[in-house]
Amino acid sequence: MPETPPRPEPFIPQTAPAALDDLRTRLRATRWPDAPQDAGWALGTDLDYLRELVAYWADGFDWSAQEAALARLPRFRVPLGRLGIHFVHARAVAPAGPALPLVLSHGWPDSFWRYSKVVPLLTDPAAHGGDPADAFDVVVPDMPGYGYSDAPVGAPLDSIAVAGLWAELMGVLGYERFGASGGDVGSHVSRYLALDHPDRVVAVHRTDAGVPVFLGDRADLAPPERDWLDNVAAWGVSEGAYAAMHRTKPQTAAFGLTDSPAGLAAWIVEKLRSWSGCGGDIERTFTKDEILTNITLYWLTGTIGSSMRMYNANAAIAPAQLTRRVEVPSGFSIFQGDVVRPPRAWLERTANVTYATEPERGGHFAPFEEPELYAEELRAFFRPYR
């Protein structure tokens, strides 16, 4: 008999009151570090800011309201590759013609949360000032070990393996051909979807070009490309300690971050601030409720350790894989506030670029920071490939 295909089941989590009581108890019992006077954010997360955020988390933040808001998205779980995978699956609303299926891949430190604002803009453009012909069927999975998806029991999965799972997921949902988009780790996954499934991926959109790998003679690079490699290396020296920890000893950090909600908040908040387009004022871009929704998802699912371990898996990917050129039509929206921004010459070297823009607002978390702008980027890029 043929094997029965996996069947998605609706998924609406409801947090037990005891879990929230435990969280608040831990927050109120935080043992705070000292900090040099006027250190601010120069040495990492600002002590005064985190004290304020933690106090609100303990006594003002309404997780139940945020959980209910997220439940308005149509969410499911399905068994794939011996893992339960959580995903949003929102179908187009009254499309003018066939809707293009689109799988959106998030990065670290987040989950499906990254795309929670943009889903209705993509599924129902007419309700948001757009053309109904630009409607998408949207699929937003949590990567294994992130959010409400299971963590691998043994070795963590790398981006190549996750891309294979996403191709399987889209098949389970009945989509033989589809678009892909992502940023951060999700850019990596989207790239491998295009590389390994070019017969199914009609086009791929990314908000970054990943960490550059070049095995040739630097003299063969254009000056902007050489500058790009130097800038990325300099950024790694000044800002890359987190990634070195994730790649090499993620389990060591996981003990403290899984035990202390204040520590978890410090680890994540500093990245939301420094990687976004907030200009140093984190609450210019994210409200406290938005920040804490992302962090609380990590806390309640206990996934900070498993999410970091994916860096370890990706560090073992062979250089020959990292230097493959994407021939599927590729689009890039390089937002002005992102951390490292590749030049057009590098994009052309690594992909078949048919679309490249540099939106003036937004940063590393563009779908959440600037959902309308991000949605318009996707509509414009994918329009010829429907």
Give CA–CA dist 248/161, Å, rounded.
20
364 catalytic per annotation = yes
372: its two tokens: 């309308």
Q: Which of 184, 197, 205, 374 is catalytic?
A: 184
> Does residue 88 sit in helix, strand or coil?
strand
**Cα separations (Å) of 59 from 24, 262, 351, 367?**
8, 14, 49, 29
Is 311 among the residues known to form the active site? yes
DSSP 134: G
Report residue 109 as tokens: 């430190």
- The first and second tokens of residue 207, run together, are 């908000």
Cis peptide before 109 (omega within 30 of 0): yes
| Count of all residues that appear for the chain in the document | 386
- Residue 11 CB contacts under 8 Å (≥ 6 apart), including other chains: 75, 76, 77, 86, 148
Query: What Å distances lie between residue 185 and 65, 130, 219, 224, 304, CA to CA?
Result: 29, 29, 29, 24, 15
Considering the candidates 124, 146, 364, 374, report the single residue annotated as catalytic.
Answer: 364
Asked if 303 and 101 count as a contact pair (C-beta separation under 8 A), the reply is no
Burial class (CB in 10 A: 0-12, 13-18, 19+), 218: exposed
Is residue 205 annotated as a catalytic residue, yes or no? no
Of the candidates 191, 88, 121, the one whose C-alpha atom is nearest the C-alpha of residue 367 is: 121
Residue 202 in tokens: 């009609």
* 90 SS3 class: strand
205 bridge partner residues: 181, 331
The 10 Å Cβ neighbour count of residue 25 is: 11
151 contact partners, CB below 8 Å, separation of at least 6: 144, 145, 303, 306
Beta bridge partners of 332: 206, 356
**Annotated active-site residue in 175, 298, 311, 374:** 311
Catalytic residues: 184, 311, 364
